[in-house]
């Protein structure tokens, strides 16, 4: 069994999706469940978590409607404005929807290096603890110092780091990222998605061997109980096929025991997202 904990759906809009630059032009079109379903059938993927790509409440509705229609979508990571006065009302509303598993903010796009530590943002995050929702942390590696301070403040909140915090794999930088990831992993309420790596490497020349040191750091830091597989489809298509992404994960999992592979590919996801 495989649960893909990170993929996206969208109806492409050049304004809404302006983050898709020329280098990623191959994904400038619609990606919907009917496009992904045959890929999953080919690779024996049981289900997925659909993650927001647009920071609006309309995006939540879009993804939740798709999850209602397609059984293989096991949950949604949506968005709310945690700095808004209405955040409690929004969280209460979505708490009634079992398919809403959590939230994230595109912190990687924020220019303020301390965005996660803003009092208004922290106040909103503090309201999550009573909902059981996950908060996913989407950052670049240079934002990890703030992440470390952030997770310290919420020992009872379930956190998941997206895309192993996007280290600069293309340039081979690893030491400072690894140091901070180990520090963050010391907080047992934080898990990590082994995802999004091929688009942090050289799109055209990456090899699995380039990625393995980063995956090994994550495994060493978080252990077998706090790592989960994600494809980052369709973003991954800018640098490789779904088969290639899954083969990277399988190459990494080849060094794990049978029980650890089951944790990585589906059991940890089932627990974290209450699937």
Is residue 232 within a helix (H) or strand (E), and if so which, with residue range?
none
What are the pLDDT digits (tens) for 75-112?
999 999 999 999 999 999 999 999 999 999 999 999 99
Pairing of strands 227-229, 100-105: unpaired
CATH of the domain at 140: 3.20.20.140
What are the pLDDT digits (tens) for 217-262?
999 999 999 999 999 999 999 999 999 999 999 999 999 999 999 9
How many other CB atoms sit within 10 Å of the CB of residue 136? 25
> Nearest-CA neighbor of 77 among 273, 275, 274, 249?
273
Single pTM value for the model: 0.95
Task: Grade residue 27 by pLDDT with cuts at 50, 70 and 90.
Answer: confident
Report the alpha-carbon distance of residue 159 to residue 190 in Å, rounded. Answer: 5
pLDDT of residue 129: 86
* Side-chain-side CA neighbours of residue 16 (13 Å): 14
Phi and psi at 192, nearest 5°, equal -140, 135
The residue behind tokens 């029980």 is 259
The number of folded domains in the chain is 1
* Side-chain-side CA neighbours of residue 154 (13 Å): 24
DSSP letter, residue 188:
T
Q: What angle do CA 118, 121, 123 make, to 5 degrees?
A: 105
3-state secondary structure 25-49: HHHCCCECHHHHHHHHHHHCCCEEE
Please tell me the least confidently modeled range out of 15-19, 27-31, 142-146, 157-161: 15-19
Length of the chain, in residues: 275
Exposure class string for 3-23: b at 16+ Cβ within 10 A, else e: bbbbbbbbeeeeeebeebeee
Domain span including residue 148? 3-272
């Amino acid at each position: 069994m495989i649960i893909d904990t990170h993929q996206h759906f969208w109806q492409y809009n050049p304004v809404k999706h302006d983050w898709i630059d020329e280098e990623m032009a191959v994904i400038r079109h619609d990606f919907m469940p009917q496009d992904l379903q045959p890929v999953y059938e080919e690779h024996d993927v049981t289900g997925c978590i659909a993650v927001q790509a647009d920071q609006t409440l309309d995006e939540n509705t879009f993804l939740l409607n798709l999850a209602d229609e397609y059984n293989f979508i096991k949950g949604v990571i949506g968005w709310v404005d945690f700095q808004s006065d209405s955040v409690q009302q929004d969280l209460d509303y979505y708490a009634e929807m079992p398919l809403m598993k959590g939230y994230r903010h595109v912190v990687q796009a924020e220019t303020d290096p301390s965005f996660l530590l803003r009092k208004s943002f922290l106040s909103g995050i503090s309201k999550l603890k009573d909902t059981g929702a996950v908060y996913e942390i989407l950052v670049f590696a240079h934002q990890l110092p703030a992440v470390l301070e952030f997770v310290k403040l919420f020992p009872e909140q379930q956190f998941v780091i997206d895309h192993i915090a996007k280290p600069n794999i293309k340039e081979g930088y690893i030491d400072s990222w690894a140091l901070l990831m180990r520090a963050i992993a010391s907080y047992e309420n934080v898990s990590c998605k082994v995802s999004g790596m091929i688009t942090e490497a050289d799109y055209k020349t990456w090899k699995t061997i380039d990625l393995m040191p980063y995956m090994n750091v994550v495994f060493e830091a978080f252990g077998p109980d706090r790592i989960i597989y994600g494809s980052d489809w369709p973003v991954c298509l800018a640098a490789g096929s779904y088969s290639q992404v899954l083969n990277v994960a399988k190459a990494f999992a080849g060094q794990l025991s049978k029980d650890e592979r089951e944790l990585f590919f589906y059991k940890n996801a089932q627990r974290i997202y209450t699937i």
